[in-house]
Chains A and B, each alone.
Chain A
Amino acid sequence: MISVRNLNHSFKIGKKGKEKQVPVLKGLTFDVADGEIVSIVGKSGSGKSTLLHIMAGFLTPESGEISVQGIQTSLFKEVESAKFRLDHFGFVFQNFQLMPGLTAFENVELPLTLKGINKSERQKKVKDLMQSVGLTDVQDHYPNELSGGQQQRVSIARALITDPPIIFADEPTGSLDSETEQDVLLLIQSLNKTRGITFVIITHDDEVAQTANRVYRMHDGVLTEGGAHHAI
């Protein structure tokens, strides 16, 4: 489903004229299969977030190829990339990234609104989904009126609403307590099983990483496949 080949990327840091090129991703090659939960685990600064940004099309890689469902996304222009994201990807972020001026219901509705779907159709779909993830009671609440766990559920519902084949989760439990963390991880696993959605989870937390079917470890821009943290 997702195929990454020989991916390289570096950042320029320092003052203009005295910039230094710092390599972040060094020749990454790996695959993510359909219906898999893959976690990429690594310390802060290891390059895991950059990898997610490139896979999601937020960044254009220096070199290498990424293809999703056989389509080479690394060659996309900004507009094409945005359209592809809307149709194929869902996103769950560490700090939820909900729109503060919209209610939980409207936040979940947003991707469908962007897709230009009719209001009645949108509302029916959002209502059903919110019921299935247990958010009906809080649907009219604004994000600042919700707990962290509820916000992340809303965020997951927003990622799910367009029925994307792939969901990228960037530190999905980073802002949650351990009890809520378990709830969210169970929800991810259940969605993976019931809907066959592929999850790519970026985390620094080994415990979260273990939820995945496959764990990739990132260290200094290099990716290795392995089960346990001590294997690095």
Chain B
Amino acid sequence: MQFKDQISFVGQHIKKNKMRVFMTVLAATMGTAFLIVLASVGFGLHETIRGEVLSNRLVTQIEVFSSEMDEEKVAELKKRDHVKAVVFRQNIGTEQQSSIGNFTGNNPLIVTDFIEEEKANFELQEGRLPEKANEVIVGSNFAEYLMNQQDENEDGEFTTYDGKLIGEQFIYQVGDNEGELIEDEMMLTIVGIGKKPAKDWEQDQKIYADASIIPELEKIYYTHVDKPADDHSDAEQLFYGNVNVYADKLENVKAISTALKDDGYNVYSISDELDKLDVFFLALKAGLVFVGTIAILISSIGIFNTMTMAVTERTREIGVMKAIGADPKLIQRLFLMESAWIGIVGTVLAVVISYGVSMVSNYVLPIIVTAALGEEDFGDMTVTFSVIPWQLVVIASTISIGVAMISGWRPARKATKIDVINALRQEL
């Protein structure tokens, strides 16, 4: 029997028992949709938490330590595969002071490459990036660290600067190698304010300047301090640097870290911790799929019943087909095709419904939850309640269609074993 004839044969039987087949398909659809929607919550939470961790820009960050870090090495690091950005921050290793009027603070100055910083998700909450040597960006907590030591508030604490920052000029001084402030001053202009750190407990009072500031600073410093004979000497050096390498994707962090270690760098990344998070969510998702599979197994009872009834009702027809010369394997295949059809249609409907439920829940649940919590939103957090990746669709479809075929297996076997003589004796 040709395959298209087999399909048309199965189709005729399905048409004859529309209502029964519809109810069975409905049960299969409900079971599969339950599995997909349930597991999608696991995928949604995983994505939410992963997104949250990733948004802290720490996961793709690899801290690189080397006693001999310089521009040449940084340039070499930038050329490596899957490296998105290499941020070479140079700190000043001596006393420093910033002051606006009577407000003074020891805010540290950091020289960095803003192009690389931007690639590594450095963001401004206000203003723009520096364009000239004396233009700087300040951290979001910069002003809180500028204090007027002649003025105390009612709690006995020094008052802090609360004036505007953007466009404001301030005096910056560095100390010598003894820790004494050098009298020569630099006037720096604030052109931007960095974004508040994601974590509440983190504070950013730093001053960020472009590398073009280095000559002037070194000039001031080395007029009071002897320049070291060797560029790499620890003593008397104004700047010391640390490097953060940013991978383009989380998956590549491990490979980059390993390569750096092999090249003699000391490295640290928190991708290992994220691996643990992934393992936890993998276990959670597997558990949810398992619970959902139970629903599919329950629906499979319906398929088993439908197929058993179909075989019983068609005993005489099966007998006639066998008498004429139908291969028992063909009869088995026709019944298996029927149960597979139920499984496939049920799965397709379930996938469509699940995507609908997922979309609606992602839209409606945040509204309900925020209303219940009495807050306007989840803050900076983007909560995704349900995500259906293609892998989940494949897993659910395999389970659903597989279970449908297993349910139809026994009735199909029963059909092949029908005795021709007894079947032909059945009343019409």
Q: For chain A residues 79-123, which have a beta carbon within 8 Å of chain B?
A: 79, 82-87, 89, 91, 93, 95, 97-102, 110-111, 113-116, 118-119
Q: Are A95 and B428 neighbours in the complex by a CB distance under 8 Å? A: yes
Query: Interface segment, A16-24, A52-60, A67-75, A207-215?
Result: A52-60
Q: Are B329 and A79 neighbours in the complex by a CB distance under 8 Å? A: yes
Which residue of chain A lies nearest to B324 when distances are taken between CB atoms in the complex? A111
Give Cα A56–Cα B421 distance, bound, in whole angstroms: 11
Work out how many contacts link A and B, with CB atoms closer than 8 A: 68
Q: Are A97 and B320 neighbours in the complex by a CB distance under 8 Å? A: yes
- Say if the beta carbon of A78 comes within 8 Å of chain B: yes
Q: Are B324 and A85 neighbours in the complex by a CB distance under 8 Å? A: yes
Q: Are A56 and B323 neighbours in the complex by a CB distance under 8 Å? A: yes
Q: Are B1 and A91 neighbours in the complex by a CB distance under 8 Å? A: no
- Say if the beta carbon of B75 comes within 8 Å of chain A: no
Q: How far in angstroms is the closest Cβ of chain B from A82?
A: 5
Q: How far in angstroms is the closest Cβ of chain A from B313?
A: 11
Interface of A is mostly: helix
Q: Are B320 and A82 neighbours in the complex by a CB distance under 8 Å? A: no
- Say if the beta carbon of B325 comes within 8 Å of chain A: yes
Interface of B is mostly: helix
Q: For chain B residues 42-95, which have a beta carbon within 8 Å of chain A?
A: none
Q: Are B325 and A86 neighbours in the complex by a CB distance under 8 Å? A: yes
Q: How far in angstroms is the closest Cβ of chain B from A136?
A: 23
Given A101-B12, A113-B1, verify A58-B329 contact (CB < 8 Å).
no
Q: Are A82 and B322 neighbours in the complex by a CB distance under 8 Å? A: yes
B250 neighbours in A (Cβ, 8 Å): none
Q: Which single member of A59, A87, A99, A113 contacts B421 (CB below 8 Å)?
A: A59
Q: Are B16 and A58 neighbours in the complex by a CB distance under 8 Å? A: no
Q: Are A79 and B325 neighbours in the complex by a CB distance under 8 Å? A: no
Q: How far in angstroms is the closest Cβ of chain A from B98?
A: 90
A86 neighbours in B (Cβ, 8 Å): 324-326
Give Cα A116–Cα B325 distance, bound, in whole angstroms: 12
- Say if the beta carbon of B119 comes within 8 Å of chain A: no
Give Cα A56–Cα B329 distance, bound, in whole angstroms: 19
- Say if the beta carbon of B353 comes within 8 Å of chain A: no
Q: Are B323 and A58 neighbours in the complex by a CB distance under 8 Å? A: yes
Q: Are B328 and A91 neighbours in the complex by a CB distance under 8 Å? A: no
Q: Which single member of B5, B13, B328 contacts A79 (CB below 8 Å)?
A: B328
Q: Which single member of A98, A101, A111, A119 contacts B325 (CB below 8 Å)?
A: A111
Give Cα A110–Cα B318 distance, bound, in whole angstroms: 12
- Say if the beta carbon of B321 comes within 8 Å of chain A: yes
Q: Are B5 and A113 neighbours in the complex by a CB distance under 8 Å? A: yes
Q: Are B326 and A97 neighbours in the complex by a CB distance under 8 Å? A: no
A93 neighbours in B (Cβ, 8 Å): 424
B316 neighbours in A (Cβ, 8 Å): 97
B424 neighbours in A (Cβ, 8 Å): 93, 97
- Say if the beta carbon of B330 comes within 8 Å of chain A: yes
Q: Are A82 and B327 neighbours in the complex by a CB distance under 8 Å? A: yes
Q: Are B320 and A101 neighbours in the complex by a CB distance under 8 Å? A: no
A84 neighbours in B (Cβ, 8 Å): 325
Q: Are B1 and A85 neighbours in the complex by a CB distance under 8 Å? A: no
Given A58-B420, A82-B328, verify A114-B13 contact (CB < 8 Å).
no
A97 neighbours in B (Cβ, 8 Å): 316, 319-320, 323, 424
Which residue of chain A lies nearest to B322 when distances are taken between CB atoms in the complex? A82
Which residue of chain A lies nearest to B2 when distances are taken between CB atoms in the complex? A116
Q: Are A91 and B327 neighbours in the complex by a CB distance under 8 Å? A: no
Give Cα A211–Cα B68 distance, bound, in whole angstroms: 114
Give Cα A115–Cα B327 distance, bound, in whole angstroms: 10
B325 neighbours in A (Cβ, 8 Å): 82-87, 89, 111, 114
Q: Are A82 and B326 neighbours in the complex by a CB distance under 8 Å? A: yes
Given A53-B421, A93-B424, A95-B428, verify A101-B326 contact (CB < 8 Å).
no
A101 neighbours in B (Cβ, 8 Å): 12-13, 16, 317
Q: For chain B residues 1-32, which have a beta carbon within 8 Å of chain A?
A: 1-2, 5, 9, 12-13, 16
B421 neighbours in A (Cβ, 8 Å): 53, 58-59
A87 neighbours in B (Cβ, 8 Å): 325
Give Cα A99–Cα B327 distance, bound, in whole angstroms: 17
Q: Are A91 and B13 neighbours in the complex by a CB distance under 8 Å? A: no
Give Cα A87–Cα B324 distance, bound, in whole angstroms: 9
A99 neighbours in B (Cβ, 8 Å): 317, 320
A158 neighbours in B (Cβ, 8 Å): 324
Q: How far in angstroms is the closest Cβ of chain A from B9?
A: 8
Give Cα A89–Cα B326 distance, bound, in whole angstroms: 12
Q: For chain B residues 378-428, which have a beta carbon within 8 Å of chain A?
A: 420-421, 424, 428
Q: How far in angstroms is the closest Cβ of chain B from A44?
A: 14
For the complex of A and B, the 5 pairs showing the least CB-CB separation, nearest first, are: A86-B325, A85-B325, A58-B420, A97-B320, A82-B325
Since A53-B421, A97-B316 are in contact, a sample of 10 more A-B pairs with Cβ atoms closer than 8 Å, ordered by chain A residue number, is A82-B327, A82-B328, A86-B326, A87-B325, A100-B317, A100-B428, A101-B12, A110-B321, A113-B1, A114-B325
Chain A to chain B contacts (Cβ below 8 Å), 14 pairs: A58-B420, A79-B328, A82-B322, A82-B327, A85-B325, A86-B325, A91-B324, A99-B317, A99-B320, A102-B12, A110-B321, A114-B325, A116-B2, A158-B324
